[in-house]
Amino acid sequence: MRRLLLIAAMLLAGPALAADGGGSGKLKGWTGPKPAKPPCECRGRDGSKQQLGATMCMKRGERMVTLQCRLVLNNTAWQELAEGCDDAMF
């Protein structure tokens, strides 16, 4: 009986914890070790590894676009930044 009351109390307290940020899962003030470099990378067309934030020029259909390596829904992806490319990218 005691166990049922404890479980019920925890279930009822859940929404209250989520409202005040207690159950949000964020590690505020984390002071533990940090990775030396970002663990996420994109792959270039030639198979090379590119860090987050890297840009590249690519032909999509009949147009040239500038793409950037970004984190999208916990996965890396090349996202279009702009139409056209800088001369330095060639």
Determine if the pTM surpasses 0.85: no
The CATH topology of domain 36-90 is Complement Module; domain 1 (2.10.70)
Closest CA to 70 of 83, 59, 60, 56: 56
At residue 19, the pLDDT reads: 47
Apex 50 CA angle, 52 and 65, nearest 5 = 85
pLDDT in tens, 8-62: 566 565 554 444 444 445 666 777 776 666 568 898 888 899 989 999 998 888 8
